[in-house]
Amino acid sequence: MGSTADFRNGLVLEIDGVLWQITYFQHVKPGKGGAFVRTKLKNVHTGAVVERTYRAGEKVVEVRLERRPVTFSYTDGVLFHFMDVQTFEMIPISSEVIGAGQLRYLKENMDCEGLVHNDRVIAVDLPFFVELEVVETDPGVRGDTAQGGTKPAKLETGAVVQVPLFIEEGDVLKVDRREDKYLTRVTG
């Protein structure tokens, strides 16, 4: 058991037998009435998102999920198949559960983390920082800007991020997938 004081992004709650992950929360203290917590919850199995409000201090059922290394193998067009590194078992997961934000950065043989509940992988988290190759970008022209400018670059997975003008096709970049943000050039 926990309470609304324990809320943090990524925390998993059990509500009516269903697992929900907190993706956003905000403590609100109105001028009149009691404080409350506004949340956005994502269904761990289906990926559906709902908004729910809790009274401050309300008790909730907190679920501890184990993290286990998994590797992305392939997609069959409908499901994404991950291999459990410990058991070598193939785990099919739908795109809704993975989330569109993460899918933009998923590539074959990528090491990820599987969230395990009752000895079963139920969701997957990609690493926060990924290294991907630039497959398409406009050439940067020196002198285009007075202060360092940026341009869009399409990565090998289809994601598009803003990069400095000196980045060229074929460069491998380190990107923060949570913010769609270029961090540094790894090779090029």
Domain boundaries, the chain: 2-63, 66-125, 129-187
Q: Write down the pLDDT at residue 77.
A: 86
46-60, 90-104, 152-166: range with lowest mean pLDDT: 90-104
Higher pLDDT among residues 120 and 154, named by residue:
154
Fold agreement between 2-63 and 129-187:
no
Which residues, listed in sequence order, are joined to residue 37 by a DSSP beta bridge? 27, 54
Where residue 143 falls among pLDDT bands split at 50, 70, 90?
low
* pLDDT band with cut points at 50, 70 and 90 for residue 188: low
Rounded mean pLDDT of 147-153?
81
Nearest CA to 22 out of 38, 42, 2 is that of 42
For residue 151, pLDDT over 80 is answered with yes
Q: Which CATH architecture has domain 2-63?
A: Roll (2.30)
pLDDT score, position 129 = 94
In whole angstroms, give the CA distance from residue 45 to residue 8: 20
pLDDT band per the 50, 70, 90 thresholds, residue 149:
confident
- One CATH from 2.40.50.140, 3.40.50.970, 2.30.42.10, 3.30.720.210 for 66-125: 2.40.50.140
Rounded-to-integer distance, Cα 46 and Cα 68, Å: 20
Confidence of residue 37 (pLDDT cuts 50, 70, 90): very high
User: For 129-187, CATH number?
Assistant: 2.40.50.140
| pLDDT reported for residue 145 | 56
Q: What is the pLDDT of residue 141?
A: 67
CA distance 5 to 60: 10
Short-list 162, 180, 50, CA closest to 126: 180
Per-residue pLDDT of 65-106, as tens digits, reads 888 999 999 999 889 999 999 889 999 988 877 877 888 999
CA dihedral 6, 22, 66, 181 (to 10 degrees): -110
The mean of the pLDDT values for the chain is 88
